[in-house]
Structure 1
Amino acid sequence: MTMDQAGREQLVRALAAAVIDHAEELTRLDQAIGDGDHGLNMKRGFEAVLADLPATAAKPLPDMMKAIGMTMVMKVGGASGPLVGTFFLELGKALPGEPARADLVAATAKAIAGVRARGKSETGQKTMLDVLVPVQAAFAAGGDGAALKAEAARAAEATVPMLATRGRASFLGERSIGHMDPGARSSQLMIAAAADALGGEV
């Protein structure tokens, strides 16, 4: 995958818009089972990422990802910042300058492993991993952008009947059932945005 500075900036803007445009929805989801700050925190983080453009997009792809990750860690409160930030940081560490599809598959697996370790969580616990893991598996199996978007939507919806056993939502016990996990939804939004921005590259 070869991406020039304009393409890298387009990708960042697409990721940011996906989150910022849905900040109120993410907040409502988090009000139901969390602290109610997921949307606002993620919006703040991506506004800070946008503020660093176009300088961030002038960096090679791995360095750009690491810069996004560091901004998210520094600017986003709650659990979201460290977890989303870790994903981008680990992605940047694992990516070569011009990754082939196999490199992207391997790098996303390492990034997910970083999130799993940071959050001390696994799939089935009603977290962002419940979207990231199945989408990465679909990617590894050869899924194109449309397939990844569909899998992300399916996986986010699948968190609704789950019982939360990690994070703030776990405090609610059975009352966490019946609500989509906000981290899963924001992950779905970012995956869809990336698939659209990358087009035939995915």
Structure 2
Amino acid sequence: MSSFTRSDLTDLFRAFAQRMAAERTLLGELDGEIGDADHGVAMADGFEAAARALANVEDENQTLGDGFTLAGQVLLNAVGATTGPLYASALTRAATTFGPVQEVPFDHLPALIPAIFEGVERRGHGKPGDKTMLDAWWPAAHVVTHESDSSSGTVECLRAAAQAAAKGAEDTRAMMASRGRAARLGPRSIGHLDPGAVSAAALLDVLASWAADHERLT
């Protein structure tokens, strides 16, 4: 059985960073409609900084827990605003989930999704339907914890979670924001996608694609 290693974590964050860079303009435009237009820059710069930090300190003594903690700390400093603390808490939760080991069985990878959802939920005190990133993370976590079983492969589980997140992000268009800067718009926030949910869905799409490539190459 293949494993998910500390080196794989660095590679995964490189893939995250590449996707956030590609989505930078779109996310900025979406955020400009209901926020302050900085979400694309923040996500692109933050994940690039996290990927770079993970690569710089990667050695035989680094555990997965150390890696997730480091990535969270970097995102906290590089992203700031609301998104930075939320993802910092999410990755701290992931550090606890994966623990002080240098690798885990590959089929443990989907556990990253509910860990991130729980970290964001606890830090932000939000709920699905608030028109936030939780509207992407929650359906993805639900797939992992309630809809997948031992007969589902890791990649199939992650693909289903990514699809659920994409639908969740699209569903934010019909929602009225009740948290964050967009909440100031009230009913005027209806008809716009939430940029945090869109970026979350993109990260989940990357996770599924990265896992498929990893499985094919091992």
TM over 0.5: yes
Question: Runs of 5+ in structure 2 lacking a partner?
Answer: 149-155
Q: Alpha carbon RMSD of aligned pairs, Å?
A: 2.1
Q: Does 1:128 align with 2:133?
A: yes
1:67 corresponds in structure 2 to: 70
Q: Does 1:171 align with 2:184?
A: yes
Q: 1:91 is matched by which residue type in structure 2?
A: A
Distance 2:8 2:28 in 1: 30
Question: What is the percentage of aligned positions where both structures have the same residue?
Answer: 33
Shift of 1:40: 0.9
Q: 2:93 is matched by which residue type in structure 1?
A: E
Distance 2:69 2:16 in 1: 15
Cα gap change, 1:20 to 1:91, in 2 (>3 Å): same
Question: Aligned to 2:50, what secondary structure does the other structure show?
Answer: helix
Question: Runs of 5+ in structure 1 lacking a partner?
Answer: none
Distance 2:56 2:130 in 1: 38
Distance 2:121 2:7 in 1: 32
1:87 corresponds in structure 2 to: 90
Higher alpha-carbon Rg: 2
1:77 corresponds in structure 2 to: 80
Distance 2:90 2:10 in 1: 19
TM-score, with structure 1 as normaliser = 0.89
2:142 corresponds in structure 1 to: 137
Q: 1:167 is matched by which residue type in structure 2?
A: G
1:198 corresponds in structure 2 to: 211
Cα gap change, 1:107 to 1:43, in 2 (>3 Å): closer
Q: How many residue pairs were aligned?
A: 201
Shift of 1:130: 0.6
1:22-41 equivalent positions in 2, closer than 5 A? 22-41=23-42
TM-score, with structure 2 as normaliser = 0.83
